A and B are shown apart, each in its own frame.
Chain A
Amino acid sequence: MTDPVRNPPDDSTLVRVRGLTTVLNGKTIFDKLDLDIPRGKVTAIMGPSGTGKTTLLKHITGQMTPDAGQILVDGKDVPRLSREALYKLREGIGYLFQNSALLTDFSVFENVAFPLRQHTKLPEVLIRNVVLLKLQAVGLRGAAQLMPNELSGGMARRVALARAIVFDPMLILYDEPFVGLDPVALNQVLKLIRTLNETLGITSVLVAHEIEAVKRIADHVFLIANGKVVAQGDPKTIANDGSAWTKQFFGGQEDGPVPFQYPAGDYAQALGFSGAAK
């Protein structure tokens, strides 16, 4: 049963999802999903591939509209916001894309300065200082004049992170921040996420598959499967809660509640043996 939503939410919850239902191409992605993302913490969203983790981030930011349900971010009902109100809300949200999504025509400096130039009338000297401050925070002040195609994957992700925090957002969403990173770059990104969370008090939500990395960084984990939250808690206890879902996911078993086979018709019939089966 879906709980009634309090609006505005209490201070400890920044994102509140109630009865979220999404159907894409006939497939139910979310089936009355409920979850609360605590303010000021690092929350990880985990689950099998194709379970809708990135879709959930898109719902939180209003990039996608659900078929039913409520998504409250800082007390604002995202699917029902006007365009202007949604853009205003997004100014307080940072989003780190899986492939960094840097603007390829602009240098590293201009990429980080882009949101400032679009939304403020700050003098150039102040923009320069803010950008250099953010680049220093991610360790790339020296790369300010490089173009995105001159960056490694890890560097590009750190630049995207600097851009995402340029407005000191209340919420930052990381979509698969560790994919394709070598151990050094992965540790750098891990440290940055944790440091930003602690020093700026940002609420962080990350979608990730890397269990060890999540155990090191997350305060709270949601395991999503079959359109619902099947387990939640702090990363150490959730991994050992004994349910079939967590056993398979955290144990890396190839078969279980998450089937190895994608749903399909009768195998024998597909091979043309339907007559023999009779």
Chain B
Amino acid sequence: MSARPVPTTNALTGSLAQIGGCGLFLLTLLAAIPRSFRYVRETLRQLWFVGAMSLTIIMVCGLFVGMVLMLQLYHVLSIFGGTSASGMVVALSVYRELGPVVTALLFAGRAGTSITAEIGLMRATDQIDAMEMMAVDPIAYVGTPRFLAGLIAMPLLCCVFCAMSVLGGHLVGVTWLGIDNGTFWSNMTAVVDLRTDIVNGVLLKSLAFGAVVTLIAVYQGFTTPPTSEGVAYATTRTVVASSIAILALDFVLTAFLM
């Protein structure tokens, strides 16, 4: 069964109905996971599309975020004579907050929008209905593989983003601004904690963000009115809703995990 648009009356009830509809759709997606096991190839194809194809933007953005962060921190910390701590602060900022959040925002813009547009166009051109008529469950064949692919890809992309950010910080801090290489790495390894920073910060957060972004993207695709205008609005809604959800969820997760 495909999800259907939620009828709305005004902005507030409309938003609440969207959240409720999204929650119910999550249950539908999860229930379809056993049926989607037979579509492993489709899941791998989507993993390639949302994961591997997002690598370039994630790597480039990660590099520049690390470089800018190091530049800013170096100038602020130099006032207090604490430039040797720059690498450590870059790493903590990236692992705990910037890595998962920026990766998720980029992921929503790169993969989320294309998931919504693709499913929306499939609806507009009756491809989803055609699958239903061929006795192929579109949730299991189209929805769940994309959801699982997003769930797997986000933590991996976040790790790549963090690695590139640290590399960017190293390039600016050590190569350009002259921070000692040994100090840069030793301060970082002394402070970064595997459970708090890597597992909770990088992996858990990015897993949650990946689930939220792909859920919103798939839901918007399945519920968009089957028109060109409807697909355009749905794509925009994916970015807006994902961005808000990522930042709100980040606050909640940080509060619980700290």
List residues of chain A with CB under 8 Å of any chain B CB. 61, 63, 83, 87-88, 90-91, 93, 95, 97-99, 101-104, 114-115, 118-119, 163
Given contacts A63-B129, A104-B122, 17 further A-B contacts (CB under 8 A): A61-B133, A90-B134, A90-B135, A95-B130, A95-B133, A97-B129, A98-B126, A99-B125, A102-B127, A102-B130, A103-B127, A104-B125, A104-B127, A114-B134, A115-B134, A118-B135, A163-B134
Nearest A-chain residue to B137, judged by Cβ = A87
Q: What separation, in Å, do the CA atoms of A98 and B122 have in the docked complex?
A: 15
The answer, yes or no, to whether B24 is at the interface (CB within 8 Å) is no
Which B residues from 115 to 157 make CB contacts under 8 A with A? 122, 125-127, 129-130, 132-137
Of B127, B129, B134, chain A has the most CB atoms within 10 Å of the CB of B134
The answer, yes or no, to whether B255 is at the interface (CB within 8 Å) is no
Q: What separation, in Å, do the CA atoms of A101 and B66 have in the docked complex?
A: 47
| Pairwise interchain contact A101-B135, C-beta atoms closer than 8 A | no
The answer, yes or no, to whether B252 is at the interface (CB within 8 Å) is no
The answer, yes or no, to whether B1 is at the interface (CB within 8 Å) is yes
Q: What separation, in Å, do the CA atoms of A93 and B135 have in the docked complex?
A: 10
Q: A97-B130, A101-B130 are in contact. Are A119 and B125 (CB under 8 A)?
A: no
Q: What separation, in Å, do the CA atoms of A162 and B20 have in the docked complex?
A: 41
Name the B residues within 8 Å of A103 (CB-CB): 127, 130
In the A-B complex, the 9 residue pairs with the closest CB atoms: A101-B126, A101-B130, A87-B135, A95-B133, A90-B135, A115-B134, A97-B126, A91-B135, A118-B136
Shortest distance in angstroms between B146's beta carbon and chain A's nearest beta carbon?
13
Interface string of B20-39 (1 = CB under 8 A from A): 00000000000000000000
| Pairwise interchain contact A63-B127, C-beta atoms closer than 8 A | no
Which B residues from 181 to 217 make CB contacts under 8 A with A? none
Q: What separation, in Å, do the CA atoms of A103 and B126 have in the docked complex?
A: 9
Q: What separation, in Å, do the CA atoms of A118 and B136 have in the docked complex?
A: 7
Q: What separation, in Å, do the CA atoms of A93 and B132 have in the docked complex?
A: 11
Name the A residues within 8 Å of B127 (CB-CB): 101-104
Shortest distance in angstroms between A169's beta carbon and chain B's nearest beta carbon?
11
| Pairwise interchain contact A83-B134, C-beta atoms closer than 8 A | no
Q: What separation, in Å, do the CA atoms of A72 and B218 have in the docked complex?
A: 34
Could you list 14 examples of A-B contacts with CB < 8 Å? A61-B133, A87-B135, A90-B133, A91-B135, A93-B133, A95-B130, A97-B126, A101-B127, A102-B130, A104-B127, A115-B136, A118-B134, A118-B136, A163-B134
